[in-house]
Structures are given as structure tokens and as C-alpha cells.
């Protein structure tokens, strides 16, 4: 029995080749890194009332890590396409 294929009369999401195991794992590894850097024990370390470049250190840190995370995701997701 042939598997059902959405015909042209059903505009449906086009399948794409699943990214390689390595790429998937690299991206998922960011999850672990982000989860560690953006959660309490580490946050406490940066939770001083100090100010750097005129901005609170904690705020700089959180937004910095967040930006880095997005850049890395973009790099991994857009590469080799």
C-alpha cells in the first residue's frame, strides 16, 4: 500500500531533509549551556549591585549571554543551507 502523499490540491508544509545528527546535537548542546549560564547559581555570582559601562553588571551579563546564544543559534541554523 503506497504511503499517502499530499497531492498538489493540498498545499502542505514541504518536508526538508532532517539536519545531520551532529548539527542537531550541536544546537541542542546550546540548550545545556544556556540553561546553566542563565539560571540561579551562576546568576547569583553576577548578582552584585556593581555597575559596568554605566549599566548594572547583572543586566549586562544576562543580555550578553542571551545575545551570544542567539548568534550561535543563527550560526548553526543558517550554515550549509
Residues that bind other proteins (CB under 8 A): 1-4, 7, 9-16, 18-19, 23-25, 27-28, 30-31, 34-35, 38-40, 43-44, 46-49, 51, 53-59, 62-63, 66-67, 69-71, 73-74, 77-78, 81
Measuring CA to CA, which residue among 14, 31, 21, 44 is closest to residue 72? 31
**Residue 19 Cβ vs other proteins, minimum distance, rounded to whole Å:** 5
**Residue 68 Cβ vs other proteins, minimum distance, rounded to whole Å:** 11
Q: Provide the 8-state DSSP code for 55.
A: E
**Residue 45 Cβ vs other proteins, minimum distance, rounded to whole Å:** 9
For 23-59, b/e burial (b = at least 16 CB within 10 A) is eeeeeeeeeeebeebeeeeeeeebeeeeeeeeeeebe
Amino acid at each position: 500500500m503506497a504511503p499517502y502523499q499530499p497531492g498538489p490540491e493540498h498545499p502542505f508544509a514541504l518536508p526538508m531533509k532532517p539536519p545531520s545528527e551532529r548539527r542537531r546535537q550541536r544546537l541542542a548542546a546550546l540548550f545545556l549551556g544556556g540553561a546553566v549560564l542563565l539560571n540561579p547559581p551562576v546568576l547569583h555570582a553576577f548578582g552584585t549591585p556593581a555597575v559596568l559601562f554605566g549599566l548594572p553588571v547583572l543586566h549586562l551579563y544576562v543580555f550578553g549571554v542571551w545575545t551570544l546564544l542567539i548568534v550561535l543559534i543563527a550560526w548553526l541554523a543558517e550554515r550549509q543551507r
